[in-house]
Structure formats: C-alpha cells, structure tokens
Amino acid sequence: MGGQKKSKATGLWPTVKPFVNGGASERELVVLKMRKRKEKAGYNLLFSCFASEMGIKAKKAMKKNLKKASSQLVASARKTEAADFLPLEGGPGRKLPEQKPIEDKATVLYIGRIPHGFYEKEMEGFFTQFGKVKRLRIARNKKTGKSKHFGFIEFMSPEVAKIVADCMHNQLLFEHLLQVHLIPPEHVHPKLWRGFNYRYKPVDSVQIECKRQNKERTLKEHKKLVEKIIKRDLKRQKKIETAGVEYECPEIVGSIQPAPKKIKFDDE
C-alpha cells in the first residue's frame, strides 16, 4: 500500500485490487475511500476543463435558444392570462368560464316588397307549408287600412325560419322580388306584436264628405259660404267677358237672406 505512487500524466491514484486472502483492515479501507474521492475529483476537473475549452460556441448557442424559448413561453402565457383571467382590484385574477358559441335562435323574419293581394290569409296559407306560423303582421295605414308592402312573420322553430329566409329571399312573386331577412332576437322591437290580430276597417271618405256638406250651419256660417260662392261666380263671369262671349249668368238663388225681424212686446 505504501509503495504506490500517483501517475504523472493524470495525477490520479491507481486503482486498487481487492484483497483476496485474509480481507482488509480498517486502515486499508479508509485509504481506499480517500483514493476513490480523489479519483472522482480529478475526473470532474478534467471534464470541466474540456467543456470550457471545446464547448464555448455550443454554450452560446444553447443560451440563445433558451432565451428564445423563454420569451415565447412568456408571450403565450400572457395571451392565455388575458383570455382566461379577469383582473380584480385588490386581489388575484380569476379564471373566466368558457363561453359557448351563441346559437342562432332567430325566429322572426322581415318580409319586404309584398305585392298587392298577398295579404294575411294568403301569406299564412303560403308559409305554413314550411312550418307552423306563430304570428303574422303586415304594416298598414291606420287611416285607410291599405298595406305598406312590408311585414313580419314569426315561426315556432329557428330552423324553419332560416330555411324560409334562404328559400324565399329574392323570390319573384307577382313581378315583385320578395326581400326576406332574419331579425336577431335582440333587435326585435318589444311592441312589434302589439295588436297584430287587429284588422283595420277602411275609412269611408264618401260618407265623411256627405256628412260635412249636409251638416246644419248657423247664419254666420251660411253667409260665409254664400260669399265664397258669389266670389267664384264673379271670377267666372270676368273670364267669359274677356273671351268675348256674350252670356248673362243667372243669379244665385238664396244668396240674399232677409234679416230677422225684431219683435217688440208692449209693456203691460
């Protein structure tokens, strides 16, 4: 044991063969442990020197790759945080619930350029071939009750409404191109279906004019009316005279009304 020496090339202790005959004493075991530790230290020193001399470029490349990877990870983490977390004042952010895509639940359709004669009964009979009609309304004039050539229709299911919009848009009907569009539920006016079953009664303008002409007038109203008639008649006579036509217009009967007599009662 005492005769062994370090090698000049490596500076390490030579390996020791295990004792075959008689085993080893405690002193020899301690010496063996010390030699093993020195050998490990020598190998580590050689490896570090080799890496420092031969792998400088590789180290630089590795550092660059690590920096790029870390920056990409930070950017992706920020994006996910912005998308999945809601910052709160005075506390950590909480994860937002996953929002499902909004389903198309539009059941109301706008119908424009409705031709004359294609009204409530006709429309209901036509559109029931696609599906069940819930409500139907045509915009009408409140005074005359005539159609304004646009209206709204509601179906029970959104699938049927979508099929109707796809099939009937720009459909030629009585020389009119129907305009059919889906209305999103948030854009439907809350008063759209108010009084949709009401049927407008057309106003009889002839009857109204007859009542206006035949109403009972006071003396002042009658006098004013007669003055207007005489004024128009004088204008007509002047036009006839300027045209060189000799014609005497007859007098208007009832133009002069006698003044009401004042009755005096004798005092008894």
Residue 183 lies in a domain: yes
pLDDT value of residue 134: 94
Residue 119 lies in a domain: yes
Burial class (CB in 10 A: 0-12, 13-18, 19+), 168: middle
Residue 162 lies in a domain: yes
Q: Which residue in the block uniquely carries the two structure tokens 């020193």? A: 45
- Give Cα 33 distance to the centre of its chain: 80
Domain count, the chain: 1
Q: Is the pTM of this model over 0.75?
A: no
Four-residue CA torsion sign, 222, 228, 234, 239: negative
Burial class (CB in 10 A: 0-12, 13-18, 19+), 179: middle
Residue 115 lies in a domain: yes
Residue 57 lies in a domain: no
Asked if 257 and 219 count as a contact pair (C-beta separation under 8 A), the reply is yes
Residue 117 lies in a domain: yes
**Residue 136, domain extent:** 108-187
Which CATH number is 159's domain given?
A: 3.30.70.330
- Give Cα 88 distance to the centre of its chain: 28
pLDDT value of residue 195: 84
Instruction: Report the amino acid identity of residue 169.
Output: H
For 177, residues 6+ apart whose C-beta sits below 8 A from its C-beta are: 113, 170, 171
Residue 88 lies in a domain: no
* Segments in 5-151 forming alpha helices (H): 26-54, 56-84, 120-127
Per DSSP, 18 falls in state P
Per-residue tens of pLDDT for the chain, all 268 residues: 445 555 555 555 555 444 444 455 676 777 677 777 766 665 555 555 555 555 666 667 777 777 777 666 655 655 554 444 555 555 555 565 666 655 668 899 999 999 999 999 999 999 999 999 999 999 998 888 889 999 999 999 999 999 999 999 999 999 999 999 999 999 999 999 988 888 777 778 889 899 988 988 888 888 898 899 999 999 999 999 999 998 888 887 766 666 666 676 766 5
Residue 121 lies in a domain: yes
